[in-house]
Amino acid sequence: MQNTEYTDAHIKTLEGVEHIRRRPGMYIGRLGNGANPGDGIYVLLKEIVDNCIDEFSAGFGNKVIIDIEDKQVRVRDYGRGIPLGSVVKATSELNTGGKFDDKVFKKSVGLNGVGTKAVNALSEKFYVESFREGESSWASYERGQLIGSGKKEKVNEKNGTLVVFTPDGEMFNGFDFNMDYVETMVKNYSYLKKGLTLVLNGTAYKSENGLLDLVRENMSETPLYEPIHLEGEDIEIVLTHGNSYGENISSFVNGQNTRDGGTHLAAFREAIAKTLKEYFKKDYKPEDCRQGIIGAVSIQIQEPNFEGQTKTKLGSTYMWEKYKNDEHGPTIRSFINDFVARNLDNYLRIHLDVVPIIENKIKESQAEREEIAGIQKKTRERNKKANVYNRKLRDCRYHFSDKLPKDKQDLAEQTSIFITEGDSASGTITKVRNANYQAVFSLRGKPINCYKESRKRVAENEELNLLISALGVEDDLDNLRYNNIIVATDADDDGMHIRMLVLTFFMKYYPDLIRRGHVHILQTPLFRVANKKERRYCYSVDEKEKAIKALKTSVQITRFKGLGEISSDEFVDFIGENMRLDLVKLSDEESISDIMEFYMGDNTIDRQNFIRANLKSEEELEDVNI
C-alpha cells in the first residue's frame, strides 16, 4: 500500500490558462506538428477565424485577412471589435466571453468561452488589439502570461480585431503549417458565407453560389446530372450522383466543417433515401439511394453542442437548445427531413429529366449490391466454419462505434487496427499493443489488385472480405469499429506493394474512410544506431548519419528489413506515444480513377520511376559500414 501523505497542501488550483497548458488535449484534441489536418495548430487558427466568422454572421464586417509567415499567424477582421474594457478578460479568463449571450451571437460556432484562451495559452507569443470608433485596447502575452496591456486614444483603423500569435514550439514540436490544409479551410469558409471575402497571404477567396461552388469545384468526376441546389432559412443542401463507390457528403454547422458528421449529416442521409423512396413509391434500400452520392449540407443552429473542443462532430438534437425539454420543439432530424422531403420532391416534379437518371442509378446499385451480398455471405460462412476470422483478428476491448461513457470517450478516439503482413509482424505487434484499444489484423500474402478486378471477384476474396468484417463497415461507415486504420508493412519494395494494394482497395470501394482521416501508414525505423550508453532509432538514411555523428564512438548499426526483426521490447515504443503515422490524404478534387491508374494500372515505366525516386535504394539501406 502506498504510504504517501495526502494533506491540504496537495490540493492545487490552476490559475488562468495554466490548466490548458497542463491538459491541452481537453481543449484542442491532438497536438501534432502540422502534418495532419486535425493537428492542434490548425485548431488554434480556426478558433481565431471562427470569431471573425461569427462577427460576419452577426452582420458586421465582410472581410477577413489572414497572413501566415515564419510560423507566425496574423488575423484581422472588420467586425465590431472586442469591447475595449474586456480585451484582457476575453483572451485570458476561462468561461468569459460574449457568446454566452445569444442576443449578441445567435448562431455562432464558439460558445464555451475557451477558444481564444486556448490559443493564448498554447502560443509562444500572443497579441490582441481591438479597434472601436478611433480608439483601441491591446494586450500582449507569452505562453498565456500577460506581459503588457494598454489603450490608445487615437488610432487610424477601422473597427475590428487583430490577433497575432505564434504556436508554442514546446507544445507543437517541430511544427509547420501545411498551406494546402489552410487553403482548404479558408475556401470552406468562403463557400459557407456568401458575401464574405477571406484573403490568405494576399489571395482573395469569395463565393457567389455557396455550397454549389464547393461541390462543383471539388468534384473529381462528371456527375450524372446537374447538382441540385436547395436553400432555406438556416439550411442549404447540394446533391448529385456519380459512378464512384461510397458517399462523398461534406457537412457544416454554423460555418464549421464537421468532418466527422453528426446528427445533421445522419438526418440528411436519412432524408435523401426516404424522399427518393417515397417519390418513386418503391421500397429501395437507403444504401442504394445513396450509392455514389456527392453533396453537402449546411445548417445554422443556436447553441450547437459539438463532441469535443475541436468541433468536428455535431452532437446536438435540437435546432434551438431552449426546446430540448419540449417534446414539440424542432429537432435537427425533423427540420432536415421536412426541408428535404418538401423541396427535393418539388424539384423532381419540376425537373423530370433528372428522375430516370436517379432511378436508373438506384437500380444499378441495387442489382450489384444483391449480387455481391450473396457472394460475401457465402465467403463469410465458409470462413466462419474454418475459424479463419479468429486467427486473423486479435481484437481490442473498446471500439470507435461503442457508446462509451464520458470518462472513456478518449479511448474511442484512440481505437486502432494494425493491418500487417504475415504472422511474424502481427505476432510482434500483438505482444506489445494495448489490448484496450489496439487491434491487429494479419494479411496472408498480397491482396488482389482491386483496380484490375471486378467487384464480384473482390467480393470473393477471403482476405478483403474478412478485413471489411473486422472494420464493421459492410453496411454503413457509421459502424466503423476503429478510428485509426493503420497499414503496417515492411519498409521494402514488397511492403510498399502490399501497402498500395490495401490502399487501392480503400480508395476504390471505401474512399470516405480516407477522406475522413481514418487511414494511416505506420512508420517503423530502418536502423538502430547504438553504443554502450545510448541507442537511437532512425527512420531514414539522413537520420542514421546524424545519429552516427552524435554517438561518435563504438557505434553499432542494425538494419531492420522487416517488422518481425524488431524485438517486442523495442517495438512497444513505435506503437505507443511515440508512434509515427503518415495520414493517407485524398482531397475531393483529386480523381480517384487517375490516382489508381498511375499506381496500379499498366503505366509500368512511370510507376517504376516514381518508386525509384521515393523508395530508398537497397544500396543506401545496406550501407551501414562506418
Q: What CATH number should be reported for the domain holding residue 431?
A: 3.40.50.670
Q: Do 162 and 280 share a structural domain? A: no
> Do 323 and 407 share a domain, yes or no?
no
Residue 325 in any domain: the answer is: yes
Out of 144, 176, 205, pick the residue that ends a domain: 205
Which tens digit of pLDDT belongs to each residue from 181-204?
899 899 999 998 888 999 999 999
Judge whether residue 558 has pLDDT over 70.
yes
Give yes or no: residues 347 and 488 share one domain: no
pLDDT score recorded for residue 604: 63
357 vs 36, which has greater pLDDT? 357
Same domain, 320 and 400: no
pLDDT, position 5: 57
Residues 193 and 219 grouped into a single domain: no
pLDDT at 329 over 80: no
In a domain, 450, yes or no: yes
Q: Which pLDDT belongs to residue 424?
A: 78
* Percentage with pLDDT > 90 across the chain: 35
Residues 221 and 102 in one domain: no
Q: Could you tell me how far CA 302 lies from the centroid of its own chain?
A: 24
CATH number at residue 298: 3.30.230.10
pLDDT at 122: 92
Shared-domain flag, residues 327 and 192: no
> Is residue 223 located within the same domain as residue 135?
no
Question: Where residue 608 falls among pLDDT bands split at 50, 70, 90?
Answer: low
H helix or E strand, kind and range, residue 241 = strand 235-241
Indicate the pLDDT class of residue 326, thresholds 50, 70 and 90: low
* Statement: residue 296 has pLDDT above 50: yes
Containing structural domain, residue 70: 18-205
> Looking at residue 537, what is its pLDDT?
87
- Same domain membership, residue 229 and residue 179: no
Give the span between the Cα atoms of 112 and 107, in whole angstroms.
Answer: 13
Task: Please state, in angstroms and rounded to a whole number, the distance separating the CA atoms of residues 493 and 603.
Answer: 17
Examine residue 373 and state whether it is found in any structural domain, yes or no.
no
Per-residue pLDDT, 539: 84
Q: Residue 513's closest CA among 489, 488, 480?
A: 480
Residues in the chain: 626
Instruction: Return the number of other C-beta atoms located less than 10 Å from residue 600's C-beta.
Output: 20
Number of separate domains in the chain: 3
Question: 389 by DSSP, 3-state: which?
Answer: helix
The Cα–Cα gap between 256 and 252 comes to 5
Give the range among 33-37, 338-342, 462-466, 608-612 with minimum mean pLDDT: 608-612
The pLDDT confidence band at residue 620, using thresholds 50, 70 and 90, is: very low
The number of angstroms, rounded, from the C-alpha of 58 to the middle of its chain's C-alpha atoms is 28
